[in-house]
């Protein structure tokens, strides 16, 4: 963060500033950043000790590399891991991680380093926000999803029986270091899941960016370094602009939830067997359909989004059947609901969100049920 705190050395990366209450922080995107963490971390989040948190898939690849890079320069650090996957983003694993840190004597002069994908960033961020009533966190995303979206904006949390991300906090990182080299080990399916968030950014705020993503899809899936870096930086700039204007989601930040009201319900209804990107892709298509039926969204918008998503191999045909009643139940408990009523972000057209009702609106359950029946 700035305002008296150091700014990251951007000599080897592109920096994007995110404004938050009390200052700002930088998202740095580039190659070789993991090896430079022993310098970058003390310059931006100096701590007596670092708690490196990764899931059990990423820990052997990058968590241990970060640990070794830190300890080899005399920095005190410990590595903590948990089972991979959305199903592990729980209060039980939050408890396990915080207990382990307490056992190791971490104090308020410690800092959490979240190394991994979106689940790791959410869970480790929540650990940091609650440990001893809050210690710093640095996000080191290693997936498209985390680099493009989850590591930026300060949202942390866990999933509970009633739905996704319903227990959590806003806890801005001190910095985000996105090393594009780590994408080379990302499984093909996870590349698809993460890129959906970039397509969402284009759909809500930059139609030209969505068009570019559509044409660049093959290069993005192959993780062409230059193309991937451009997509990450462009998406981070879009999200950073929104978060700077509305850190706590009281207004315009709601636009980032396009596709997520329905998408989160679909994930929860399948016990998180459905990937986040697949669910959000379906959510974008179904919410575009809702908008068109209400006469708010320009006709043909759903078809345009479908055409773009098809370049990632995604369509409603690729979505497994979902229990309609279960999905409707999870919609009712969505964290964005007001007075027990879920709210939906609707487009006017590609690149423009409808904003007449505080950026999101209620929709009659009967219409939502009718549209969701398409995948039931």
Q: Please give the CATH topology (third level) of the domain spanning 188-375.
A: Dehydroquinate synthase-like, alpha domain (1.20.1090)
Please, where in the chain does CATH 1.20.1090.10 lie? Answer: 188-375
Contacts of residue 152, defined as CB under 8 A and 6 or more positions apart, other chains included, come to 18, 27, 176, 236, 239, 240, 243
Cα–Cα–Cα angle for 240, 310, 217, nearest 5°? 55
Is domain 14-185 annotated with CATH 3.40.50.1970?
Answer: yes
CB 255 within 8 A of CB 344: no
State whether residue 344 is helix, strand or coil: strand
Q: Where in the chain is the domain with CATH 3.40.50.1970?
A: 14-185
Beta strands 77-82; 49-55: pairing state: parallel
Percent with pLDDT over 70 in the chain: 97
What is the structure's pLDDT at 337?
84
Radius of gyration of the chain (CA): 20
Q: What is the pLDDT of residues 129-180, one digit of tens each?
A: 999 999 999 999 999 999 999 999 999 999 999 999 999 999 999 999 999 9
> Tell me: the pLDDT tens digits for 170-194?
999 999 999 999 999 999 999 999 9
- Which pTM value belongs to this model? 0.93
In degrees, rounded to 5, the angle at the alpha carbon of residue 51 between the alpha carbons of residues 46 and 53 is 130
Position 63 pLDDT exceeds 60: yes
How high is the pLDDT of residue 12? 65
- Left if phi > 0, otherwise alpha if psi is -120 to 50, otherwise beta: which for 277? alpha
pLDDT for residue 216 is more than 60: yes
> Has residue 280 got a pLDDT over 70?
yes
Averaged over 30-50, what is the pLDDT? 94
Question: Is the CA virtual torsion 51, 54, 56, 62 positive or negative?
Answer: negative
Q: Where are the beta strands (DSSP E) in 8-48?
A: 14-20, 23-30
The CA-CA-CA angle for residues 346, 167, 114, to 5°, reads: 95
Task: Give the number of other CB atoms < 10 A from CB of residue 9.
Answer: 15
- Give the angle 247-235-57 at the CA atoms, nearest 5°: 95
Active centre residues (catalytic)? 133, 155, 197, 239, 249, 253, 257, 260, 264, 276
Confidence tier at 2 by pLDDT (50, 70, 90): very low
pLDDT at 11: 47
DSSP one-letter string for 120-155? HHHHHHHHHHHGGG---EEEEE-SHHIIIIITSS-E
């Amino acid at each position: 963060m700035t305002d008296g705190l150091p700014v990251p050395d951007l000599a080897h990366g592109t920096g994007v500033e995110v404004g938050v209450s009390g200052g700002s922080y930088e998202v740095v995107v580039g190659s070789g950043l993991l090896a430079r963490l022993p310098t970058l971390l003390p310059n931006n989040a100096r701590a007596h000790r670092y708690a490196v948190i990764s899931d059990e898939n990423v820990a052997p690849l990058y968590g241990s590399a970060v640990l070794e890079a830190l300890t080899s320069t005399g920095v005190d650090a410990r590595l903590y891991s948990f089972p991979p996957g959305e199903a592990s983003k729980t209060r039980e694993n939050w408890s396990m991680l915080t207990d382990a840190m307490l056992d190791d004597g971490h104090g308020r002069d410690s800092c959490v380093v979240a190394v991994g994908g979106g689940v790791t960033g959410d869970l480790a961020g929540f650990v940091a926000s609650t440990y001893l009533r809050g210690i710093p966190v640095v996000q080191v995303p290693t997936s498209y999803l985390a680099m493009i979206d989850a590591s930026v904006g300060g949202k942390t949390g866990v999933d509970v029986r009633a739905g996704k991300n319903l227990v959590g906090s806003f806890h801005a990182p001190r910095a985000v270091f996105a090393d594009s080299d780590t994408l080379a080990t990302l499984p093909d399916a996870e590349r698809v899941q993460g890129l959906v968030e970039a397509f969402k950014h284009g759909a809500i705020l930059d139609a030209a960016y969505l068009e570019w993503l559509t044409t660049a899809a093959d290069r993005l899936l192959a993780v062409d370094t230059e193309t991937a870096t451009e997509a990450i930086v462009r998406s981070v700039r879009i999200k950073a602009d929104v978060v700077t204007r509305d850190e706590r989601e009281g207004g315009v930040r709601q636009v980032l939830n396009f596709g997520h009201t329905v998408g989160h319900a679909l994930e929860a209804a399948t016990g998180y067997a459905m990937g986040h990107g697949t669910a959000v892709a379906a959510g974008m298509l179904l919410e575009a359909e809702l908008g068109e039926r209400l006469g708010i969204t320009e006709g043909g918008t759903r078809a345009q989004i479908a055409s773009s998503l098809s370049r990632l191999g995604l369509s409603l045909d690729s979505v497994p059947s979902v229990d309609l009643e279960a999905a409707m139940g999870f919609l009712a408990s969505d964290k964005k609901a007001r007075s027990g009523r879920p709210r939906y972000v609707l487009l006017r057209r590609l690149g423009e969100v409808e904003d007449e009702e505080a950026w999101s609106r209620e929709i009659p359950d009967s219409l939502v049920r009718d549209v969701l029946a398409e995948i039931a």
